[in-house]
Amino acid sequence: MKRLLILGAGTAGTMMANHLRPKLARDQWNISIVDQEKVHYYQPGYLFLPFDIYQPKHIKKPIEKFIPTGVNLIQEKIDKILPEENKVLLANNNVLDFDLLIIATGTKIAPQEIQGMDGPGWRNNIFDFYTFDGAKALRDKLRKWQGGRLVVHICEMPIKCPVAPLEFAFLAEDFFRQKGIRDRVEITFVTPLSGAFTKPKATEILSHLLVEKKIEIVSDFAIERIDNTSNTMIDYGGKEVQFDLLVTVPTNMGDEMIARSGMGDDLNFVPTDRGTLQTETQENIFAIGDATNLPASKAGSVAHFESEILTENILRFINKQPLKAEYDGHANCFVETGNGKAILIDFNYSHEPVEGTFPFPGVGPLRLLKESRMNHYGKMAFRWIYWNMLLRGRHLPFVTPTMSLAGKHFDDMQEHEN
């Protein structure tokens, strides 16, 4: 009996379990998945929880509900991987042997990386919304906050879902307007990037929206520390930004287990081949989703597209066929812009988000890089798709894992080398 081991039962790991179990003969392959958590969170919902748009029950379900029968769920903390011995050590001293390993341990926030961030202000006037607890604490704060200077902030790249902080700023603007206190709130968006987003074409459109919504932007801000007495962020160049309420995206790092295993880069992300998803550590170890160092967005859509390609590569590896270097960095994100509208962007390693229609060329119904209500409904419908189709490894009709160029307007196309 051969053993396939998946570390992490989040979006990527759960999808892999669901993809692979029907494809690997049960009398030949044992599949186990390890995760210490009991709850599977619908992470895109963290954006809506602070504004009371979603309730906790919408975004929490038991982890085991999504693990297919025939896959062994081990709920224990992982100590480390011993790659050369093809073993994984658990915190309870159990040892798991593997023939094939898939690392899907994701990314976490690390507020302790910035001096003064997780001090007295943490979850008092400094919040994150990248964790369930953080988003819920922020909801409680926003329910009673009467206005002042709100700063929405990104510490350093890469982060999970790079558009989420902008969406947060847009939704906050909408929220305060609905509440009738918009005139008492000053909103500032502070980023280490040179503009609103990482991709020039989308940045142009998003910057325009920031102006329209009277959200000030401070760019090229590389935070060094936070002064908790004056509630000020100070950057390495000496620039200062004062806040009454700071909603920050702390440094994102891979799991500490990756560091303990000696397999990570500076941020504990696993060096991985950007086309095949095989790790640089060892040929029988693959990585997927936020855990990799791929120059793609850390996002559920990326994990979803990767999972279809990784499934094929795992089967090829087992059959001793050459791997397909097929993953192209495809990401597809709905960007909430407030007022019940959203923008949809579709891009990959080399192609910027462009205008056009999705998924049907020339038809839509979704519009790329343009604000529309239909896009917003798409984002809202996605929660159902996530729980019922995506996690269960069902192929989404008409959506391809590599990016389709049809129906997209590439007249301003810019090729980018990564």
Q: Which residues bind another protein (CB under 8 A)?
A: 156-158, 162, 192-194, 198, 220, 222, 224, 236-237, 265-267, 293, 295-298, 414, 417-418
Q: Give 91-155 as a DSSP string.
A: TTS-EEE-SEEEE---EEE-GGGSBTTTSTTBTTTEE-SSSHHHHHHHHHHHHH---EEEEEEE-
Q: Which CB, 32 or 191, lies closer to another protein?
A: 191
- Minimum Å gap between C-beta 334 and another protein is 18
Query: How many other CB atoms are there within 10 angstroms of residue 360's CB atom?
Result: 12
Closest CB to another protein among residues 79, 235:
235
Find the shortest distance in angstroms from Cβ 126 to another protein.
21
Tell me whether residue 7 or residue 110 sits nearer to another protein (CB atom): 110
Q: Which two tokens stand for residue 122?
A: 């943490």
Asked if residue 160 lies in contact with residue 129, where contact means CB atoms within 8 angstroms, the answer is no
Q: How far is the CB of 239 from another protein (least distance, A)?
A: 9
Amino acid at 235: D
User: How far is 411 from 354, CA to CA, in rounded Å?
Assistant: 9
Q: Which is nearer to another protein, 92 or 418 (CB)?
A: 418
Residue with smaller CB distance to another protein, 30 or 115: 115
The two tokens of residue 117 are 């961030």
Q: What are 259's two structure tokens?
A: 């560091």
Q: Look up residue 270 and give its DSSP letter.
A: B
**Least distance CB 267 / another protein (angstroms):** 7
Closest by CA position to 187, among listed 223, 154, 149? 149
Nearer residue to another protein within complex by CB, 117 or 150: 117
- The alpha-helical segments, DSSP class H, found in 215-359 are 256-260, 300-318
CB of 165 to another protein, least distance (A): 13
Between 236 and 384, name the residue whose CB sits nearer to another protein. Answer: 236
To another protein, the closest distance from the beta carbon of 223 in angstroms equals: 11
- Closest CB to another protein among 161 and 368? 161
Shortest Cβ 99–another protein spacing (Å):
30
What SS3 class is residue 362?
coil
Task: Provide the edge-to-edge strand list for the sheet that holds 240-242.
Answer: 223-227, 232-235, 240-242
Q: C-beta of 208: minimal distance to another protein in Å? A: 20
Contacts of 266 (CB under 8 A, 6+ apart): none
Amino acid found at 161: C
Q: What token pair was written down for 203?
A: 């940045």
Q: How many Å is the maximal CA-CA distance in the chain?
A: 66
